[in-house]
Amino acid sequence: MATAKREDTLAVEKPGVERRYSAALMAEGRLLLKMGIGKPTIAKALRHAVANNTSIEDELLANNLVDETTYFEALAEELGLAFLQRIDGTHVHDLPGLDAQLSRPEVLLLQPPLARPVRAIAPKISQVAGLKNRLEQSPTLRSRLVVTLPSEIKRAAWQSGRLRRVVETTRRLSDHMPLYSARVTFWGRQGFYGGLLAAGLIACLLTMPILTFIAVHILVTLLFLANFGLRFVALLSAQARERRHRFRRPRSPLKETPLPIYSVLVALYREESVVPQLIAALDRLDWPRSRLDIKLICEDDDEGTIRLLETLKLPAEYEIIRVPVRNPRTKPKALTYALNGARGSLLTVYDAEDRPSPGQLKQAHAAFCRMSSRTVCLQAPLSITNGEQSWLSGLFSLEYAALFRGLLPMLSAARLPLPLGGTSNHFRTAALKQVGGWDPYNVTEDADLGMRLYRMGYRSRVISMPTLEDAPTDFDVWLKQRTRWYKGWLQTWLVQMRKPRRLLRELGWSGFLTFQVLIGGMLLSSLCHPAVIAFAIYLGWLMMQDDSHTVGALSFWLFIADIINIFGSYVIFIALGRVRMEDRERRAVGWRWVLTPVYWLALSFAAWRAILELRFKPFVWNKTPHKPARNL
């Protein structure tokens, strides 16, 4: 009995080295030997298969140990079937179930004109014995089956269902969950109340201007103070985390478990200049090639980027996806379109210019293993590497450090809603699909998705391994990017506030107030920042007059609040960014922090431009051009 249970010993190991492998792997290895694949190649793939809990076949193809075409030609010869290297897309009909072939390419029904239908299959080597038996029992099957490539099945499936799929992508959220879609900017009731509020404000300004001015001033002051208070708490929290970090014990390693397939989505548009840098960064990811599913998502008319990607002869884990040209032409539409074919149980999103830490996927996987199944999103920090290039990039660097290493970790620790960054989000794929993916009509899709996840009972946390990025150094580029962000945040606020009582019920009081301060308060404070400065100057001028005794207590305290709001906000902005920066980052920023007031006025200008864009160009995506990074 004991002898019967022993596993076979692999015959292709080096002399003097004996390992024991499963009967399934042994059978697979013997069949591959019979097909003419060399013992050293099989042995190398076998070691990867054992380490990654995959098959020898998967490792051969994923690690480029065999050519895909040569391999499936050999399988066809072994089965005695014809081999079809290229599928004619016109022979594939968009039938129900076609989309299943995007993630698991196994079989396609081909219907050539004036000919019998044929099934194109991409068999696994484990299926060969069973297929041989069927073919021996039913010889007529040979005329109705051909062997093809998995990559060809996917390409033909993407091509055949492209028009139906892109329509579904743009309409799915608005049709099935209209409450969460920005396709309609103002719902009827919102438009009515918004108009009523504007008319009432104008009437008050005309009939009692002083009282209205004071009331608006108090409201803006309170919002500024709330923003200041939230960031002050984040600063204290960041300082406490910095102290704890010095004495933190290392986590005990997780028990070794097979790694899941990890999908990586990257939306590209006119990115020829950074494609080589991107591919080099993705190649450095510390994850088995056979468990990676990297999708490079391009607009169908972006021939320059597509042509460059095709000339690079990318490894098997890469797939180029062409998104049909259809409005809205946004990044979230491209991501949601590609989500149909994601193979991984985990998924992350990167931008074209990103250089993620090689260990980021493993850190995210380990965090997901430790955390509750309700935690479905992890945000990695974004770190700016060109802070020394200009005053804009220096202050951008401060801003990102404050957000990703100060504010978001505090919100995460407090279990509050996270306005996600647009890149380096890691998801449980099933939950992402369940909430509808990204909203194709929201141009700041990350913040919107973070709120939607929280409302549906899911939670987001943060991890520590960063993704490196370069900030814009040209003001026009920065302004267009920031205008798009403000426009999207405004879309997000309007979408979430369609039913305020339901939002309060789903977020709870703490989440609701956090949302109002983070999104609504941030928008209003940016819009009103020049006015607050003007208020403070005016009130200061009044108090400097000879008749300063006529200035009331309310005006005095409003002046004090304005000074705290203005200079306190500047100080918090600088301190929260610097406290979590490394020394080299602080040196890169240098003296540029003194230009914070100018930066905030530029933010206000971008916010006002966003208001106009939301009215006249709500779904226009202001493209940010990228250049290869100088500091890799």
Q: Return all residues near 573 (Cβ < 8 A) that are at least 6 apart.
A: 231, 398, 399, 402, 596, 600
454 and 503 belong to one structural domain: yes
In this predicted structure, the answer to whether residue 550 has a pLDDT above a threshold of 50 is no
Tell me, what's the pLDDT at 551?
Answer: 54
Identify which of 348, 351, 376, 350 has the alpha carbon closest to the alpha carbon of residue 362. Answer: 348
pLDDT score of 1: 34
Asked if residue 319 is part of any domain, the answer here is no
Choosing from 66, 96, 114, the residue where a domain stops is 66
pLDDT at 355: 96
In tens, the pLDDT along 474-498 reads 999 999 999 999 999 999 999 999 9
Same domain, 610 and 582: yes
Could you tell me the pLDDT band of residue 546, with boundaries at 50, 70 and 90? low
State yes or no: pLDDT of 379 exceeds 60.
yes
Domain finish residue from 43, 66, 89: 66
Q: Which among 2-6, 418-422, 529-533 has the top mean pLDDT? A: 418-422
Binned at pLDDT 50, 70 and 90, residue 246 comes out as low
Query: Considering only CA atoms, which of 613, 611, 614, 607 is closest in space to residue 530?
Result: 607
Q: Are residues 20 and 55 in the same domain?
A: yes
Q: Max Cα separation, the chain? A: 108
**Looking at 207-211, 378-382, 549-553, which range is the least confident one?**
549-553
Band of residue 296 on the pLDDT scale cut at 50, 70, 90: very high
Distance CA 580, CA 407 (A): 11
Identify whether 323 is part of a domain: no
Domain boundary among 160, 177, 196: 160
- Distance from C-alpha of 216 to C-alpha of 210, rounded to nearest angstrom: 10
User: Is 515 a residue whose pLDDT tops 50?
Assistant: yes
Do 128 and 210 fall within a single domain?
Answer: no
The answer for residues whose C-beta is within 8 angstroms of residue 421's C-beta and 6 or more apart is: 379, 382, 403, 404, 446
Pick the more confident residue, 564 or 471.
471
Strands 262-268 and 459-462: unpaired
Question: What whole-number distance in Å separates Cα of residue 364 and Cα of residue 344?
Answer: 14
For residue 21, tell me if it sits in a domain.
yes
**Edge-to-edge strand order for the sheet containing 382-384?**
355-356, 467-469, 382-384
What value does the mean pLDDT take over residues 51-80? 90
Instruction: Please classify residue 494 by burial: count the beta carbons closer than 10 Å to its beta carbon, then call 0-12 exposed, 13-18 middle and 19+ buried.
Output: middle
Task: Give the CA distances from residue 180 to residues 134, 187, 273, 471, 619, in Å, rounded to whole numbers and listed in that order.
Answer: 50, 12, 36, 30, 16
Residues 117 and 59 in one domain: no
Contact criterion met (CB below 8 Å) for 161 and 94: yes
Amino acid type, 200: G
Question: Quick one: average pLDDT of 363-370?
Answer: 95
Q: Which residues form the domain of 378?
A: 188-245+261-268+329-632
Lowest mean pLDDT among 11-25, 157-171, 455-469: 11-25
Cβ(78)–Cβ(140) below 8 Å: no
pLDDT > 90 fraction of the chain, expressed in percent and rounded:
58
Q: Give dist(CA 231, CA 241) in Å, integer.
A: 15
What are the angstrom distances between the C-alpha of 369 and each of 251, 257, 262, 461? 13, 10, 14, 13
The answer for residues whose C-beta is within 8 angstroms of residue 391's C-beta and 6 or more apart is: 592, 595, 598, 599
| Shared-domain flag, residues 53 and 83 | no
User: Residue 338, Cβ neighbours under 10 Å: how many?
Assistant: 25
Reported as a pLDDT band with limits 50, 70 and 90, residue 554 is: confident
Residue pair 357/284 in contact by the 8 Å Cβ criterion: no
Query: Does the pLDDT of residue 310 top 60, yes or no?
Result: yes
Q: Classify residue 245 as exposed, middle or buried by CB count within 10 Å of its CB (0-12, 13-18, 19+).
A: exposed
Task: Please choose, from the candidates 102, 177, 261, 183, the residue with its C-alpha nearest in 3D space to the C-alpha of residue 434.
Answer: 177
| pLDDT of 185 over the 90 cut | no
- Residue 129 has a pLDDT of 87
Note whether residue 489 is domain-resident.
yes
Q: Are residues 143 and 200 in the same domain?
A: no
Residue 174 lies in a domain: no
Instruction: Kindly state whether residues 121 and 33 are assigned to the same domain.
Output: no
> Are both 354 and 474 inside the same structural domain?
yes
Query: 3-class SS at 342?
Result: coil
Mean pLDDT across 349-373: 95
Peptide bond into 625 cis (omega under 30): no
How many H-runs (helices) and E-runs (strands) does the chain carry?
Answer: 26, 14
524 and 405 both lie in a single domain: yes
Greater confidence (490 vs 32) lies with: 490
Give strand pairing partners of 107.
Answer: 121
User: Would you state the pLDDT for residue 218?
Assistant: 81
Domains held by the chain: number? 3
pLDDT recorded at residue 632: 62
Residue 81 lies in a domain: yes
One-letter-per-residue 3-state SS of 170-210: HHHHHHHCHHHCCCCCCCHHHHHHHHHHHHHHHHHHHHCHH
Nearest alpha carbon to residue 308 among 342, 269, 348: 269
* Domain-embedded: residue 256: no
Does 282 map to a domain? no
Mean pLDDT of the chain: 87
Tokens 């484990």 belong to residue = 126
pLDDT-wise least confident of 204-213, 327-336, 393-402 = 204-213
Q: Whole-angstrom Cα distance, residue 330 to residue 437?
A: 14
Confidence band, pLDDT 50/70/90 cuts, at residue 560? confident
- Which uninterrupted H or E stretch holds 292? strand 292-299
pLDDT for residue 241: 66
Regarding whether 236 and 117 lie in a shared domain, the answer is no
Q: Is the pLDDT of residue 335 over 70?
A: yes
Q: Of 65-69, 202-206, 568-572, 607-611, which gets the smallest average pLDDT?
A: 202-206
Strand-by-strand arrangement of the 145-147 sheet: 82-83, 145-147, 118-121, 107-110
% pLDDT > 70, the chain = 93
pLDDT of residue 170: 94
Q: How far apart are the first and last CA of the chain?
A: 59
Do 419 and 440 fall into the same domain? yes
Q: Average of pLDDT values for 491-509?
A: 93
Residues 6+ away with beta carbon under 8 Å from 163: 324
Look at 151-160, 172-181, 471-480, 565-574 and tell me which has the smallest mean pLDDT. 565-574
The pLDDT of residue 50: 87
